Amino acid sequence: MKLYKAYAKVNIFLKITGKRDTYHEIVSRFMLVSTLYDELSFVPKKDDKNEDKFEIYGTFSCSVEQNTIYKAYVALLASLDEHKAASLKNLMKKYAINVEKNIPSFAGLGGGSSDAATFLKMCNEVLQLGHSLNELAFVGEKVGADVPFFVYGYNSANVSGIGEIVEEFNEDLLCFDIFTPKLEISTPRVYKSYRDNFYSPIDAFEAEKLKKRSSSDILKTMKADEANDLFRAALAEYKELKNYYREGYFFSGSGSSFFRVKERIE
């Protein structure tokens, strides 16, 4: 069966711009990591008796119902008319989703969101559902804030709002050294700590300036805690994180991964 690559991302910068109900509004530069990806494929189910169960083969620490791929399936079903929904249900009666998991979980690299987006695109292609990328991104938004970026498939993009506004940023793709401590970080916990102890949103003028700067320039001129508003909150909540920090590295998302530029990809 055809293999689909679900790429990781890093946050070159991540700044808070305000609040929206219980969410935080952000401005961030997402850049795809071309050397790190999960591989997804449809495979025949191992047991015919499991026809009515949505099955995912792979190494996951969560239940199927908690998996972003399953959540993407539910959201996609809700977006379809009766005929197309029946086609999707029939597909998932016969096939399971096989995931070769290479992107670490709880790492700030977007693995779950990328898997969800890739599943949406797989179904759209195989079943010829006819959803545009905008429509798939709208479905993906219901699964997670980072999913729309992966739906669009840009190498680099400015992401704002609560993740639903994705604007392609034309620049050279960078290659990264990434290391991920064996530390499971809770994104809600980090955001709560930021809101309670570090809340200092940037204004629209500063946000626009950041959106125009290249990723390479930002990484040359900013430090880890300047580029990512969540870094100090993560350090406050997970004291052991400071033992893993290395000079010259940056913090992706709410963690726990650190990255730096290795070389430029031609």
Is 47 known to be catalytic? no
At a CB cut-off of 8 Å and minimum separation 6, what does 137 contact? 147, 148, 151, 152, 164, 166
Sign of the torsion angle spanned by Cα atoms 83, 86, 88, 90: negative
Asked if 10 and 176 touch (Cβ cutoff 8 Å), the reply is yes
Sign of the torsion angle spanned by Cα atoms 120, 121, 122, 126: positive
Active-site residue, selected from the candidate residues 38, 146, 182, 220: 146
CA 130 to each of CA 4, 97, 170: distance values in angstroms, whole numbers, following the listed order: 19, 21, 27
Asked if 109 and 103 touch (Cβ cutoff 8 Å), the reply is yes
Side chain identity, residue 113: S
The residues assigned a catalytic role are: 9, 146
